Amino acid sequence: MENPYAPTHPEIRDAVRQLCLKFDGAYWRDLDRERGYPTAFVKALTEAGWLSILIPEEYGGAGLGISAASAVLEEIHKAGCNAAACHAQMYIMGTVLRHGSKEQKERYLPKIATGELRLQAFGVTEPSSGTDTLSLRTTAVKKDNSTYVVNGQKVWTSRAEHSDLMLLLARTTPREQTKKKTEGLSVFLVDMRSALGKGLTIRPIRTMMNHNSTEVFFDNMEVSAENLIGEEGQGFRYILSGMNAERVLIASECIGDGKWFIEKAVNYAKERKLFGRAIGQNQGVQYPIARAYTQIEAADLMVRKAAAMYEAGINAGSEANMAKMLASEASWAAAEMCVQTHGGFGFAEEYDVERKFREARLYTVAPISTNMILNFVAEHVLGLPRSY
């Protein structure tokens, strides 16, 4: 009988693993020192078709499901690489695919699939609102029937300097004029190449990991009405529909990171000798590794469940959020264990542990924090009173 919990898409995993072998630790260390963008890595993924795996075949993609995309991202991180430079393209594209017009899909999706256009910037979070998306202040005011004028600011807009297109969420109707607080927000596909210097300014944000984060400013930036995605005022619903995919894909990266930390720790514990024997013979070293492995395996099952539900068209909001929380926390626990196992060498650049340690820390905070997920589960799953 076939094992239902066996790794899915083994052929995809093997191919991605082979590609990642060309981008070893030295490649990522050099980029990390200089805060560089992994152009060659992203190009290789694009040419191999991995970034267009969710785009339907009619638009030049593979037309596969989210479990296949999850396999790609998990293997990238398990190999010691980092998909953060391009992973957003997978889930941002979904908003165009599900809610864009026929003309918009035909115009953009084939070029995104080939890499001619990069859709990697997601303009949602703002300095004053954070994950309180409904309180965002960036506005898009209709100038005439053909143009909107955008003013405002976004923050933590990663990859903005390395993207041709941005998916932008802006308020088109003042909040006090809407019947529901979820109305009045609209989604636009911004051509950043033509807007840069013409109302669009990008400022890099240096962080403890190389994530190519920026803050973006809009000063009377004009956007064609043709670039409005779906109906005006319904943008929050469009963005929300893509967040479950985002949660599952990020969780898959965390599983990959966790597996990398565990393998790294196991190998080091076998090889490192103190007092005449391998440190892995000590239960004080064994137990944390075994615990980290157990946590990753458990989180992996929730990720697979969420992916399966999403592919089946079942509302996976709760499962996707829980998967992201469990996977990010398990990954972070594995990261701490790996540093502890390596001792002082865990801080040495050449081992790559400290780099991956910094990268893994991000996902208990972003793109949604653990506390926000716990609030969601408490209120929407368990039916507890809304917290304040």
The answer to whether residues 212 and 202 belong to one domain is yes
Tens digit of each residue's pLDDT (9 = 90 or more) over 23-34? 999 999 999 999
pLDDT of residue 314: 93
- Domain's final residue, options 195, 216, 236: 236
Greater model confidence, 130 or 16? 16
CA torsion sign for 353, 357, 360, 366 is negative
Asked if pLDDT for residue 5 goes beyond 90, the answer is: no
Give the pLDDT band (50/70/90) at residue 241. Answer: confident
CATH number, domain of 83, equals 1.10.540.10
Please count the CA atoms within 13 angstroms of the CA of 130 that sit on its side-chain side: 5
The answer to whether residues 370 and 244 belong to one domain is yes
pLDDT of residue 252: 98
pLDDT of residue 165: 97
In angstroms, rounded to a whole number, what is the distance separating the alpha carbons of residues 308 and 79?
A: 24
pLDDT of residue 387: 78
Is the residue at 388 inside a domain? no
Task: Look up residue 206 and give its two tokens.
Answer: 């240096």
pLDDT of residue 1: 47
- Domain's final residue, options 83, 114, 145: 114
Is the residue at 219 inside a domain? yes
The answer to whether residues 178 and 201 belong to one domain is yes
The answer to whether residues 218 and 264 belong to one domain is no
Number of structural domains in the chain: 3
Tens digit of each residue's pLDDT (9 = 90 or more) over 32-88? 999 999 999 999 999 999 999 999 999 999 999 999 999 999 999 999 999 999 999
- Domain's final residue, options 81, 114, 147: 114
The answer to whether residues 169 and 302 belong to one domain is no
Q: What is the mean pLDDT of residues 130-134?
A: 74
Is the residue at 14 inside a domain? yes
CB atoms within 10 A of CB 170: 26
Containing structural domain, residue 83: 10-114
Listed in sequence order, the residues at least 6 apart from 138 whose beta carbon sits closer than 8 Å to its beta carbon are 123, 126, 150, 151, 152, 153, 154, 168, 169, 170, 171, 218
CA torsion sign for 379, 384, 386, 388 is negative
pLDDT of residue 8: 87
Is the residue at 339 inside a domain? yes
CATH number, domain of 317, equals 1.20.140.10
pLDDT of residue 2: 56
The answer to whether residues 91 and 161 belong to one domain is no
The answer to whether residues 98 and 141 belong to one domain is no
Is the residue at 386 inside a domain? no
User: DSSP assignment, residue 7?
Assistant: P
User: DSSP assignment, residue 156?
Assistant: S
The answer to whether residues 241 and 227 belong to one domain is no
The answer to whether residues 251 and 368 belong to one domain is yes
Greater model confidence, 54 or 132? 54
The answer to whether residues 365 and 322 belong to one domain is yes
The answer to whether residues 332 and 360 belong to one domain is yes
Q: What is the mean pLDDT of residues 325-344?
A: 98
CB atoms within 10 A of CB 259: 22
Tens digit of each residue's pLDDT (9 = 90 or more) over 176-206? 999 888 899 999 999 999 999 999 999 999 9
Is the residue at 83 inside a domain? yes
Beta-strand (E) ranges in the chain? Answer: 119-123, 139-144, 147-155, 165-171, 185-191, 200-204, 214-224, 228-229, 273-274, 277-278
Average confidence score pLDDT of the chain: 95
Asked if pLDDT for residue 159 goes beyond 80, the answer is: yes
CATH number, domain of 175, equals 2.40.110.10
pLDDT of residue 386: 86
Is the residue at 104 inside a domain? yes
Is the residue at 3 inside a domain? no
The answer to whether residues 257 and 377 belong to one domain is yes
